[in-house]
C-alpha cells in the first residue's frame, strides 16, 4: 500500500515566535485530508524551500538566511515507510538568501536561486547556481553560476538582482530564472554538466517596472507559462517558443479585487494537473486567487478564498487533486482545503496544523 507524506520547511531562525522545527514530516490521508506528524528533522536552519524527487526518494532543502553572505542547498534520503529524512550532504549556493530549488527534467541537475540581499558587490553574489546530483543523491559543488548585475553580469543593469526561481522548460532545453529585482525572466540554455550558463537567443523577457516576477510554472501542455508578479500583484500568461526560448506575453490579470487598496505581495503559483485551473497566493489580502484556463492558455478570474491565516507564502495541491494545503508563514499555520476537481473551487475543511512559520510544502507518495 502506498503512503503519502507532506514535507514542510519551517522558518526556525530569527523568527517570531521562533518555534519552527526545521523540516516537519506528516503522514497525509488523501481521503480525509488529515495530517499526522511522522517525524522531524531539526538540524537545519531556515529550510525555506523544498524540492522533492519522488522517483529516487530524495528531498532537497534551501537554507535561506539573509544574514549569511552565502547559503546552502542540502540533500536528504527519504525513508518511504516512515517519511524520515537522512542527511546526505550540502553545498554552498554561491549566493545569499537562497529561496528556490528546481530540477531539470531528468533529475540529474538542480538549480538554486538566490535573492541576494547581502551588501552590494559582496561576494559571492550569484543569482542562480547549477549543481550536478550524484548517484547517491548528494550534491556536487556548483559547476555554473550567473550574476545579473554589475561588471560580471550576463546582462549588465543598474538595478539590483533578486533571483527568485529557476524553472527548466518541459522539453529540457532552457532554464528560466525569474529576477524580481530586474523585472526580467532570464533565459539560459540548459547546460551540460560542467559547462557554464549561456544566454539563449532570446536572453530575457522584460516585464513592466515594479512587476517583480517571482515564480514561474508551465502548463501541462508545455506550450504556456504562467508567472506570478510579487510586487504589482498580477499574473502574466506567456506563449512558449521552443525555437528561440521566447516567452511571448499574451495576458496579464490582477490577483486582487478592485476595491482592495492595502499593501499586498504575491508569492506562489500552481496549475492543476488537468491544466484547467490556475491558483496564486496573496499576502496582505491573505487569499488564494483562482482562475480558469482556456485552451488558448488565457485565464479568467474565478474568485478568492481566504487563506485562513496571515501571509500565505506557499500552497500545494495533493497528488489526488482533491486537497490544497496552504502554508501561512506569518500566522495560522497550515490550512487544509477541499478542492472540487470539476470546478476548481476551494472549501475550507477547518483542519489546521499548528506550525508558527511554515514556508513550503511538498508531497511525496511512495510504495
List, for residues 194-229, the tens digit of each pLDDT value: 999 999 999 999 999 999 999 999 999 999 999 999
**Nearest partner of 157 among 209, 97, 110, 118, judged by Cα:** 209
Asked whether residue 148 carries a pLDDT value surpassing 90, the answer given is yes
Cα angle 21, 1, 314; round to 5: 35
**Nearest partner of 76 among 91, 92, 62, 87, judged by Cα:** 87
Cis peptide before 341 (omega within 30 of 0): no
pLDDT recorded at residue 74: 98
Beta bridge partners of 26: 6, 37
Asked whether residue 21 carries a pLDDT value surpassing 90, the answer given is no
- Alpha carbons 279 and 296: distance in angstroms, whole number: 17
Residue 121: band (very low, low, confident or very high) from pLDDT cuts 50, 70, 90: low
Q: What is the pLDDT of residues 164-181, one digit of tens each?
A: 999 999 999 999 999 999
What b/e sequence results for 114-143 when a residue is b if at least 16 CB atoms lie within 10 Å of its CB, and e otherwise? bbbebeeeeebbbbbbbbbbeeebbbeebb
Residue 15: band (very low, low, confident or very high) from pLDDT cuts 50, 70, 90: low
Strands 3-10 and 23-28: antiparallel
- Cβ–Cβ < 8 Å for 63, 30: no
Domains annotated for the chain, with CATH where assigned, are: 93-352 (2.130.10.10)
C-alpha cell at 188: 539560459
pLDDT recorded at residue 17: 52
Asked whether residue 299 carries a pLDDT value surpassing 80, the answer given is yes
Q: Please state, for a pLDDT cut of 90, what percent of the chain lies above it.
A: 90
- Alpha carbons 271 and 274: distance in angstroms, whole number: 8
Asked whether residue 120 carries a pLDDT value surpassing 80, the answer given is no
* Arithmetic mean of pLDDT, 234-255: 98
**Alpha-carbon distances of 210 from 163, 184, 214, 236, rounded to whole Å:** 15, 10, 12, 14
- Alpha carbons 20 and 233: distance in angstroms, whole number: 28
Q: What is the pLDDT of residues 49-86, one digit of tens each?
A: 999 999 999 999 999 998 888 999 999 999 999 999 99
C-alpha cell at 35: 495530517
* Arithmetic mean of pLDDT, 84-93: 98
Say whether 126 sits in a helix, a strand or coil.
coil
Asked whether residue 241 carries a pLDDT value surpassing 70, the answer given is yes
C-alpha cell at 168: 527548466
pLDDT recorded at residue 159: 87
How far from each other are the two terminal CA atoms of the chain, in whole angstroms?
Answer: 6
- Cβ–Cβ < 8 Å for 26, 38: yes
**Nearest partner of 127 among 145, 139, 102, 104, judged by Cα:** 145
Report the range of poorest mean pLDDT among 1-15, 147-161, 339-353: 147-161
- Alpha carbons 325 and 11: distance in angstroms, whole number: 17
* Arithmetic mean of pLDDT, 298-323: 98
Strands (E), 169-293: 174-179, 184-189, 198-206, 213-218, 224-229, 234-240, 247-254, 265-271, 277-283, 287-293
* Arithmetic mean of pLDDT, 112-140: 91
* Arithmetic mean of pLDDT, 237-243: 98
**Alpha-carbon distances of 94 from 98, 115, 163, rounded to whole Å:** 9, 11, 12
pLDDT recorded at residue 1: 85
- Alpha carbons 108 and 31: distance in angstroms, whole number: 34
Residue 118: band (very low, low, confident or very high) from pLDDT cuts 50, 70, 90: confident
Amino acid at each position: 500500500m502506498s503512503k503519502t507524506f507532506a514535507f514542510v520547511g519551517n522558518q526556525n531562525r530569527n523568527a517570531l515566535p521562533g518555534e519552527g522545527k526545521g523540516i516537519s514530516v506528516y503522514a497525509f490521508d488523501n481521503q480525509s485530508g488529515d495530517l499526522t506528524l511522522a517525524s522531524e528533522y531539526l538540524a537545519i536552519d531556515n529550510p525555506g524551500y523544498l524540492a522533492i524527487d519522488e522517483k529516487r526518494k530524495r528531498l532537497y532543502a534551501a537554507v535561506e538566511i539573509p544574514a549569511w553572505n552565502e547559503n546552502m542547498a542540502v540533500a536528504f534520503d527519504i525513508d518511504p515507510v516512515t517519511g524520515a529524512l537522512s542527511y546526505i550532504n550540502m553545498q554552498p549556493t554561491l549566493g545569499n538568501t537562497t529561496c528556490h530549488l528546481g530540477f531539470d527534467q531528468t533529475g540529474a541537475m538542480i538549480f538554486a536561486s538566490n535573492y541576494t540581499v547581502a551588501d552590494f558587490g559582496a561576494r559571492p553574489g550569484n543569482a542562480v547556481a547549477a549543481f550536478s546530483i550524484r548517484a547517491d543523491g548528494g550534491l556536487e559543488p556548483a559547476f555554473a553560476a550567473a550574476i545579473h548585475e554589475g561588471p560580471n553580469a550576463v546582462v549588465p543593469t543598474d538595478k539590483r538582482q533578486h533571483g527568485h526561481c529557476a524553472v527548466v522548460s518541459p522539453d529540457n532545453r532552457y532554464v528560466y530564472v525569474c529576477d524580481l529585482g530586474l523585472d526580467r525572466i532570464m533565459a539560459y540554455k540548459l547546460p551540460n554538466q560542467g559547462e557554464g550558463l549561456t544566454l539563449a537567443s532570446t536572453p530575457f523577457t522584460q516585464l513592466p517596472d515594479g512587476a517583480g516576477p517571482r515564480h514561474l510554472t508551465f502548463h501541462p501542455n508545455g506550450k504556456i507559462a504562467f508567472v506570478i508578479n510579487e510586487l504589482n500583484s498580477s499574473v502574466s500568461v506567456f506563449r512558449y517558443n521552443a525555437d528561440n526560448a521566447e516567452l511571448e506575453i499574451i495576458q496579464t490579470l490582477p490577483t486582487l479585487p478592485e476595491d482592495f487598496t492595502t499593501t499586498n505581495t504575491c508569492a506562489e503559483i500552481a496549475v492543476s494537473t488537468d491544466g484547467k485551473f490556475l491558483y496564486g497566493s496573496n499576502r496582505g489580502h491573505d487569499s488564494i486567487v483562482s482562475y480558469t484556463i482556456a485552451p488558448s492558455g488565457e485565464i479568467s478570474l474565478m474568485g478568492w478564498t481566504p487563506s485562513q491565516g496571515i501571509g500565505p507564502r506557499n500552497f500545494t495541491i495533493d497528488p489526488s487533486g482533491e486537497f490544497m494545503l496552504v502554508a501561512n508563514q506569518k500566522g495560522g499555520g497550515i490550512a487544509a482545503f477541499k478542492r472540487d476537481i470539476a470546478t476548481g473551487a476551494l472549501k475550507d475543511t477547518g483542519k489546521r496544523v499548528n506550525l508558527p512559520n511554515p514556508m513550503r510544502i511538498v508531497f511525496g507518495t511512495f510504495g
